[in-house]
């Protein structure tokens, strides 16, 4: 794998112990993933097959079985600069793949948690946890969950109503809103989250923000991070 000389060079590590959701430390050979997340975006998580849920705002740089002694040992990384958007942050995640078949070509991700992050920069950077804080592992999104798609928007009184298709009945949905497309800083902007429905479109109602001349909406999984 060739990389440019002007690659972003970084060291990733965690002090550990990094733990699974049940509190047990990660086993040797557990996967750590490095993700580039666009500026202003919230990480939407991983699908069970290890892909990122929202490839429009995040990119999986690597996922490797690095775990040793309950942590990610110091590992040097050279990332081609073309893979990291300007202003993006890099985050090191630990996976829960205990139920995957070891050595199988396909990894099954049953959970993940963020261990450490860093602002990406040209030259050198460091992605390492600053304390021994345990990384809680959250459930991953099932691999077959589609990406929701906004199919319509209308004004209804003092609310915008967004019509969404491609949702899953196992998830609740909400909206992130903002006055600029790159700054969707109003989390949980919908009046209330709505459970998805694979068979038909759902509607999310967003109270209009006072004084804003423009608004942008993005449908996300409810919970604030996706």
Which residues of this chain interact with other proteins, rule CB under 8 A? 1-7, 9, 34, 61-64, 75-83, 121, 123-124
CB-facing half-sphere around the CA of 145: CA atoms within 13 A: 27
Using alpha carbons only, what angle is made at residue 121 by residues 120 and 123, rounded to the nearest 5 degrees? 130
Query: How far is the CA of 135 from the CAs of 42, 44, 66, 161, 196, in angstroms?
Result: 18, 17, 16, 37, 29
By beta-carbon proximity to other proteins, the closer residue of 7 and 163 is 7
By beta-carbon proximity to other proteins, the closer residue of 43 and 173 is 43
Give just the sign of the alpha carbon dihedral 17, 10, 62, 93: positive
Closest CA to 215 of 160, 173, 174: 160
Minimum separation from the CB atom of position 132 to other proteins (A): 20
Closest CA to 184 of 147, 143, 218, 133: 218
Minimum separation from the CB atom of position 94 to other proteins (A): 16
By beta-carbon proximity to other proteins, the closer residue of 36 and 168 is 36
Minimum separation from the CB atom of position 154 to other proteins (A): 38
Minimum separation from the CB atom of position 11 to other proteins (A): 9
Tell me the C-alpha distance between 8 and 180, whole Å: 29
Closest CA to 64 of 53, 73, 54, 52: 73
By beta-carbon proximity to other proteins, the closer residue of 9 and 136 is 9
Tell me the three state secondary structure of residue 68.
Answer: strand
Minimum separation from the CB atom of position 93 to other proteins (A): 14
By beta-carbon proximity to other proteins, the closer residue of 74 and 99 is 74
């Amino acid at each position: 794998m060739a990389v440019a000389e002007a690659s972003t060079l970084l060291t990733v590590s965690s002090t550990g112990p990094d733990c699974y959701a049940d509190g047990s430390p990660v086993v040797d050979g557990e996967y750590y993933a490095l993700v580039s997340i666009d500026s202003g975006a919230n990480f939407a998580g991983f699908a069970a097959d290890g892909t990122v849920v929202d490839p429009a705002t995040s990119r999986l740089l690597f996922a490797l079985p690095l775990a040793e002694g309950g942590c990610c040992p110091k590992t040097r990384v050279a990332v081609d600069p073309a893979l990291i958007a300007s202003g993006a942050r890099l985050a090191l995640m630990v996976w829960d793949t205990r139920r995957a078949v070891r050595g199988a070509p396909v990894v099954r991700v049953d959970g993940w948690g963020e261990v450490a992050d860093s602002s990406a920069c040209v030259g050198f950077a460091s992605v390492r946890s600053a304390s021994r804080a345990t990384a809680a592992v959250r459930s991953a999104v099932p691999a077959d969950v589609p990406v929701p798609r906004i199919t319509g928007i209308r004004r209804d009184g003092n609310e915008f109503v967004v019509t969404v298709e491609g949702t899953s009945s196992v998830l609740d949905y909400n909206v992130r809103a903002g006055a600029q497309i790159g700054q969707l800083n109003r989390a949980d902007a919908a009046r209330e989250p709505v459970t998805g429905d694979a068979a038909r479109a759902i509607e999310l109602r967003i109270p209009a923000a006072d004084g804003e001349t423009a608004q942008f909406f993005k449908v996300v999984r409810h919970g604030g991070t996706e």
